[in-house]
Structure 1
Amino acid sequence: MESEVERKKLRVLVAVDESENSFYAIEWAMDHLRDVISAEPDTGRAGGLLTLLHVHPPYAHYVYPAAAAVFAATSVPESVKKEREERTAALFTRALQICRGKMVKAETLVLEGDPKDVICQAVEQMHVDLLVIGNRGLGMIKRAFLGSVSDYCAHHAKCPILIVKPPRESSTSTATATASSK
């Protein structure tokens, strides 16, 4: 008799951005969670659902002086929208290649807003079982000033969260880099 965990399709959400740490988190998730999110052809059971989420920060509306009057730019230039769409398409192309290489099907989702809030809202609305997010490895002082999406999600997401830290540099590659820079 199958256990409840084996019967349930797990919903895994991986938050992605353009950083290398984000792609490392995708690869880590594929390597370590493939058994719970990929389909099982031998048994006919469907796998879980993997969603790759990218959040666009909201457009900043600027105030421009024009002669004696001041006006706010409320519309977003078409060129800015086009560039954002192209960068997002490139991001998902790379992320989906990683998934295909590991034989895992994934869906993509793009939302807009403050990333930390939007990720936590998506987790709740989609009934996600596990959130996977990369960590930039900010120090304590930078994290205090800049904030940390992963830290915020760890405290506010309504599901378990897996924070994937960046890989450590090996001591030989660090020594080589130091020696080559002299």
Structure 2
Amino acid sequence: MATEGKGVAIEAEAEAVKEMNVMVAVDQSESSFYALQWALENLFRRKGAAVETEEVGMVTVVHVQQPFHNYVLPAGPGIYATSTVIESVRKAQEQNSSVILSRALRLCKDKMVKAETLILDGDPKEMICQAAEQMHVDLLLVGSRGLSKLKRAFLGSVSDYCAHHAKCPILIVKPPEEKLSRESST
């Protein structure tokens, strides 16, 4: 009888994972993909023969494109950015988003976790918090690039902003030191 109770507990735990609405924010940084990998390995996979082969849960992978401001800017003496230039910048942003989300979906597929993607336009820190609130996310995961205090002060930190403004629990996943130092040197 003790083993029956344990089996029910494992099934209940797997069922709780299935119901969890998790959002992971990704960008081109390796630290954001480390956060996604961490989520896939620690939140969606359970040890044990019975559960290991099942799909357990779904993740929403969100990427935010920086807004392209349609200002008329001089591109040289008497030359201004045209609608063709603006359109090519937008197309490049869309291609970049597609590459980022394709990589994220491949990671999810490799771990047998269902995933959906979301591309937003705007300030990443504000849009991530807004999307998490609108989608009633149970947990928001973001990576941490390990910016110095000075860089955080000037550039801002998406993870820091989300930690203070998200209306749901947030997990900031920091990569191991060797990954941080490799990424900051590039």
Q: TM-score, normalised by structure 2?
A: 0.75
Q: Quick check: which one's helix share is greater? A: 2
Aligned to 2:41: 31
Q: Distance in 1 between matches of 2:112 and 2:13?
A: 24
Aligned to 1:64: 73
The alignment status of 1:18 with 2:18, answered yes or no, reads no
Q: Distance in 1 between matches of 2:86 and 2:74?
A: 18
Q: What secondary structure is seen at the aligned counterpart in 1 of 2:68?
A: coil
Deviation of 1:35 (Å): 3.5
The alignment status of 1:110 with 2:114, answered yes or no, reads no
Q: Distance in 1 between matches of 2:29 and 2:162?
A: 18
Deviation of 1:157 (Å): 0.3
1:142 to 151, 156, 162: 151
Deviation of 1:49 (Å): 2.9
Deviation string 1:40-88 (CA, Å, 9 cap, x unpaired) is x87xx9743310000011112333359xx9x897887221122111111
Aligned to 1:126: 135
The alignment status of 1:166 with 2:181, answered yes or no, reads no
Deviation string 1:104-149 (CA, Å, 9 cap, x unpaired) is 1100000111100000000110000000000110011111111100
Aligned length in residues: 164
Deviation of 1:100 (Å): 1.0
Q: What secondary structure is seen at the aligned counterpart in 2 of 1:63?
A: coil
Q: Distance in 2 between matches of 1:147 and 1:30?
A: 27
Segments of structure 2 that go 5 or more residues without pairing to the other structure are 1-7
Q: Is the 8 A contact 1:27 1:98 kept in 2?
A: yes
Change (3 A) 1:65 1:143: closer
Q: Distance in 2 between matches of 1:65 and 1:143?
A: 31
Instruction: Name the % identity.
Output: 58
Q: Is the 8 A contact 1:64 1:73 kept in 2?
A: no
Q: Distance in 2 between matches of 1:102 and 1:128?
A: 21
Amino acid at match of 2:128: I
Segments of structure 1 that go 5 or more residues without pairing to the other structure are 175-182
Q: Distance in 2 between matches of 1:165 and 1:53?
A: 18
2:19 to 9, 14, 24: 9
